[in-house]
Chain A
Amino acid sequence: MSVLKRIAELFRLFVSLLFRSIFIYGDIEGRHVPFLINLALLVTQVLVARGSVERVLVVLASVLLTYLARGSGKVVIYSSVLALIPSTWYLIVSTPFTLDLFASALIALRVFTVSLSFICFLYFFNPVEISYLLKLLRLKNASLYPTLTWRVVPHIMRDMETALLVGEMKRVEAWKSLAVTVLTTEEYVSLYEEGLFSKPGYEPSYYYSVKHTLTTLIILAFLMVACFFT
């Protein structure tokens, strides 16, 4: 298998993981928690994960709890595999410096936990809320971009995946398939513009889930209390 083919294969796997970790599962109630609370949880997790190993484990537990309590347990596996990519990298590159596998494993655990927190934040991030908030801030023109990005990025990634499958079947070099896909992307921009042009102005609307907001606040409180005792 040529290097380019391997790259194409890895790209496909990566896209599939990214899809399942962040984009694919529709709009669930668990995604209707205020952005600022999600952000507060992420910032707390990142700050706490800088501490002792016990604290890292507490953060890890809080991330897993977030997934489970907000009805997304099935995403944990994919997110974990995705988070393993940077942590494995850190494990490999830090070992020659630490000369201690245990110390490197701790670094990798920390990286894994922080990565998983970020992926969890992105998974529960709801672009419609940001659009809604921008509209409330009277930034109507900007309000379209968060939702548009969340629509266009997976659309292009999915198409790239198909183009690579076809390219592999046609036995053309991966760069050729990708080159056309890049040109396609340029055309996509124009086609999306055409689509948007005659649509009426975008009026985003949103609702918050009391249940999941309270759940997230409880997890945040648990994280803080647990940190106090570790």
Chain B
Amino acid sequence: MMEVRDLNVWLSNYHVLKDVSFNVGEHGVVLLVGPSGSGKSTLLKTLSGVIPSVVKGVVRGFSSPSLETLKSKAMYVHQEPWFFISTPYVWSEIVGYTSIKSLSSLREVLEEFRLGHHVNRTTYTLSAGEIQRLAFVIAVNSGKEILLLDEPTSYLDKRNSETLVRFVVKLSKDYGKTFIIVDHDLTLWGDYVSEILYLSEGRLTKTSKNPFEEVVRNMSSKLSPVNPRSSECLKIRVDSFRFPDSKEPLLTNISFDVCRGEVVVVKGSSGSGKTTLLKLIASGCLRGGGVVDVSGGRCRAVFVPDNPLLYLSSPTPAEEVGLEGLKYLKYLGIASKAETPIMRLSSGERRRLAIASALSRGYEYVFVDEPTAGLDPLNKLHVIEAIIKAAEMGVGFVIASHDPFVEMIANKVVCIERS
């Protein structure tokens, strides 16, 4: 049983959480939803003690067990799973941080998350989805009683998301673990959670229905593929691609066209090579040749990586998009943050900013990796609508995504699987 009363948190003098109160019963699975920037991650970080121990901030309020006790009982798994992993090999990470010490049990546990063949792999070569599953494996085997998971399925495909949900339910029922989960996918969690908490502008309310129901309904009925009006296309052809001295090719027999004004969605399980494909196309466009056949040798294109920080090159959103791009900040709901330093933006805001910047610079083609990962349905809709607007103006898109709503606007869907 966990009780939180009148929790207030200030970060850099900004009042982020305002009188937050809630209870979590034993074996509870609580889902925390809300728009990006509403304070969801701040709440999890406060409960785990990350705030104020690592991130400076002021915390006031009552909690039982106390926040001091929670520090040792709770584990926070970051929204960007890369930062949760701190050793170079998959086996060393699990052996070092969990009770699993034998190689056979390690393989067994990893196998359940389809990671069994990655035991000796370096952790920095894993895909985002693989890292996310590894982080979950560590969290649930760490011996901590309360698990605070920030967007645990944002980089996972449907199959792996469902496996994760199944494990959460099992661990809470059979092993008494308590979960507080930030996620936007209520269809995925709705049937399994004991409570849904809605956080908006730092204030918490309980809700029995999906607060984004209307937006989701809207998206389901409204989204459809754009009609491409241009015959100018990129021909993408990968007969076989493997990393130097790798035994097996990562990508084989991939061939498709992307025309200006068209949206091509690349889907496939995590680790199947979606990001690699986008990078190959991007390099081909930049230098001419490679896997891309472009008339004239090169094309004006840009690549937006799944970590939006790697895309951004200016200190503030306004400078990043320039005057022309201010309208995109508006479309994407971040106009009010135009002068906020990039380092102070939330993860979702940075993602939207990177998309706004890519759309505002007049590229012929944009290659985006997981444009909606971790976004709430409303912001997701903003991003998808902005992509539609840009496509209508003749921008061609290749998007790697697991998101079914992104797939709804696709003119073509390219499925890649490792085998």
Residues of A within 8 A of B (CB): 20, 23-28, 74, 127-128, 131, 144, 147-148, 150-152, 154-155, 158-159, 162-163, 165-170, 172, 176-177, 179-181, 183-184, 187-188, 190-200, 202-205
CA of A166 to CA of B244, assembled, Å: 22
0/1 per residue, B304-323, Cβ < 8 Å to A?
11010111111000000000
0/1 per residue, B72-103, Cβ < 8 Å to A?
00111010101111111101100111000100
Whether the Cβ atoms of B92 and A23 lie closer than 8 Å is no
Q: Check: B343 CB closer than 8 A to any chain A CB.
A: yes
CA of A172 to CA of B313, assembled, Å: 8
Whether the Cβ atoms of A191 and B80 lie closer than 8 Å is yes
Whether the Cβ atoms of B124 and A155 lie closer than 8 Å is yes
Whether the Cβ atoms of A194 and B78 lie closer than 8 Å is yes
Q: Check: B54 CB closer than 8 A to any chain A CB.
A: yes
* Given known A176-B313, A194-B78, A204-B96, contact A28–B120 (CB-CB < 8 A): yes
Q: Check: B415 CB closer than 8 A to any chain A CB.
A: no
- Specify which of B88, B286, B342, B361 is in contact with A151 (CB 8 Å cutoff): B88
Whether the Cβ atoms of B302 and A198 lie closer than 8 Å is no
* A-contacting residues, B283-305, CB 8 Å: 283, 285-286, 301-305
* Given known A187-B343, A199-B75, A205-B96, contact A170–B310 (CB-CB < 8 A): no
Interchain pairs with CB closer than 8 A, number = 163
CA of A25 to CA of B142, assembled, Å: 27
Whether the Cβ atoms of B310 and A195 lie closer than 8 Å is no
Whether the Cβ atoms of B96 and A151 lie closer than 8 Å is no
CA of A28 to CA of B283, assembled, Å: 31
- Specify which of A168, A187, A197, A202 is in contact with B97 (CB 8 Å cutoff): A202
List A contacts of B85 (CB < 8 A). Answer: 151, 195
User: Can you spell out 24 A-B residue pairs with CB atoms less than 8 angstroms apart?
Assistant: A23-B88, A24-B125, A25-B122, A28-B120, A127-B88, A131-B87, A147-B92, A148-B87, A151-B124, A155-B82, A162-B305, A165-B303, A166-B310, A169-B301, A187-B309, A191-B78, A194-B83, A195-B78, A197-B49, A198-B48, A200-B97, A202-B96, A203-B95, A205-B101
Q: Check: B121 CB closer than 8 A to any chain A CB.
A: yes
CA of A190 to CA of B49, assembled, Å: 14
Whether the Cβ atoms of A147 and B88 lie closer than 8 Å is yes
* A-contacting residues, B317-369, CB 8 Å: 342-343, 361
CA of A176 to CA of B84, assembled, Å: 28
Whether the Cβ atoms of B86 and A192 lie closer than 8 Å is yes
Whether the Cβ atoms of A191 and B83 lie closer than 8 Å is yes
List B contacts of A147 (CB < 8 A). Answer: 86-88, 92, 96
CA of A152 to CA of B86, assembled, Å: 7
Chain B, residue nearest A184 (CB): B309
Chain B, residue nearest A201 (CB): B97
List A contacts of B148 (CB < 8 A). Answer: 198
Q: Check: B132 CB closer than 8 A to any chain A CB.
A: no
Whether the Cβ atoms of A26 and B120 lie closer than 8 Å is yes
CA of A170 to CA of B313, assembled, Å: 9
Q: Check: B245 CB closer than 8 A to any chain A CB.
A: yes
Q: Check: B279 CB closer than 8 A to any chain A CB.
A: yes
Q: Check: B143 CB closer than 8 A to any chain A CB.
A: yes
Pairs A-B, 8 closest by C-beta atoms: A191-B83, A147-B87, A150-B88, A74-B245, A195-B84, A195-B83, A27-B120, A27-B89
Q: How far is the CB of A178 from chain B (nearest CB, A)?
A: 9
* Given known A27-B89, A166-B302, contact A198–B49 (CB-CB < 8 A): yes
Chain B, residue nearest A196 (CB): B86
